[in-house]
Amino acid sequence: MIFRQLTVIGCGLIGGSLAVASRYYQLAERVVGTDVDPNMVQMAIDLHVIDEGTTDLPTAVKNADLIVIATPVKQTLSILKTLCDMPLQPGVIVTDVGGTKTDICAYAAQSMPETIEFIGGHPMAGSERSGVRAANERLFENAKYVLTPTAATNPESLQKLRQFIEGLRANVMILDPKLHDRVVGTISHLPHVLASTLVQFVSGFAEQEPLYAQLAAGGFRDVTRIASGNPDLWRDIMVTNADALDEIMTQFIAACTEIRNFVRGKQEHSLQAFFASAKDWRDALPVRRRGALPELYQCTVDVADRPGAIATVATLLAEKEINLRNIGIMESREDVNGQLVLQFHRLEEMEKAIELLQTMNFLVHKYDEEIG
């Protein structure tokens, strides 16, 4: 399915990646970008993410037959209301990329004119980087991309949008908006709350005892890394998914209370069964299937404790044009044997690095799995 004009509202990571992927896979004859920040629009043009851009929303959407709103959820609701009063192309398909769907889909079904075909969307893809500079035509490759049609959705429009999303190399799932919000509330929104709560909890102790911060490396950083997410974004997600999250958090608190009782009673059998069950379920998850949380492509490498060891590894990767996102030294080695931590933007970059380092007789570890 090739659209005549795709207009992307919001030239950030997701909007930029969708735009550049549409150009890369030739899914639209013309890609227009719009943003309230003129610098973002110009940057998107300079980086060849979009064909043309403007800060004027009516101009950007006037001739579009596909509009993607790539903004935070609250802004998306505001933009939908604005689009209702604009002279859009009859039958234009409008979709969004928000992390919650119930409020947006309910508004669209009740308030948008019949000439606008709105279909909710949520790409399960992201990056710890942000902004249009991080736009990547392969961001959606093999990722789940949820579409949330309602009873009012035109099947033909849904099929057109589905073909477009599949053209981005994503795997489309069709979900009811409320089911979507409950599932992502459990596997994505709740973990952000837990990570941020854990950080806040430990930081309170760290104010009185510096050892908490000094020893909070390795596993603690891995468990809490998603707490580094955009606070404004996550505030809006919590507010727009409040009903589902209230129920989910109530159930989670009950689960925590049960585990606390196991600990209080020193119930060894119950604790063993609890940890074993969690391990079995977690270990059975597909290793390379992309999900709702941002991915971290990371491996650790055993290196000798001598001057130049880090430079040796970095130079080997640079010579093969393997791009590192981050490099660091693990001071705590409680769970893995590697000292040097390598992080990558893409899975294929990590795999190339692992293969290279193994050929140079380095011992490499990827999370739980020793591979060299």
CB neighbour list of residue 8: distance below 8 Å, 6 or more residues apart: 15, 16, 18, 19, 31, 32, 33, 34, 50, 68, 70
pLDDT tens, per residue, the chain with 372 residues: 799 999 999 999 999 999 999 999 999 999 999 999 999 999 999 999 999 999 999 999 999 999 999 998 889 999 999 999 999 999 999 999 999 999 999 999 999 998 999 999 999 887 656 789 888 898 998 889 999 999 989 999 999 999 999 999 999 999 999 999 999 999 999 999 999 999 999 999 998 998 888 887 667 877 888 888 888 888 989 999 999 999 999 999 999 999 999 999 999 999 999 999 999 998 888 765 555 555 667 888 888 767 777 888 989 999 888 988 778 776 544 444 447 888 887 788 889 999 999 998 888 877 544 333
- What's the CATH superfamily of 297-370? ACT domain (3.30.70.260)
Both structure tokens of 94:
């409008």
Residue range(s) in the chain whose domain bears CATH number 3.40.50.720 = 3-175
> Which amino acid belongs to residue 257?
T
Cα-flanking dihedrals φ and ψ of residue 49, to 5°?
-75, -35
Is the CATH number of domain 3-175 3.40.50.720?
yes
Both structure tokens of 1:
């399915």
Residue range(s) in the chain whose domain bears CATH number 3.30.70.260 = 297-370
Cα-flanking dihedrals φ and ψ of residue 92, to 5°?
-60, 135
For the 179-283 domain, the top CATH level (class) is mainly alpha
Residue range(s) in the chain whose domain bears CATH number 1.10.3660.10 = 179-283
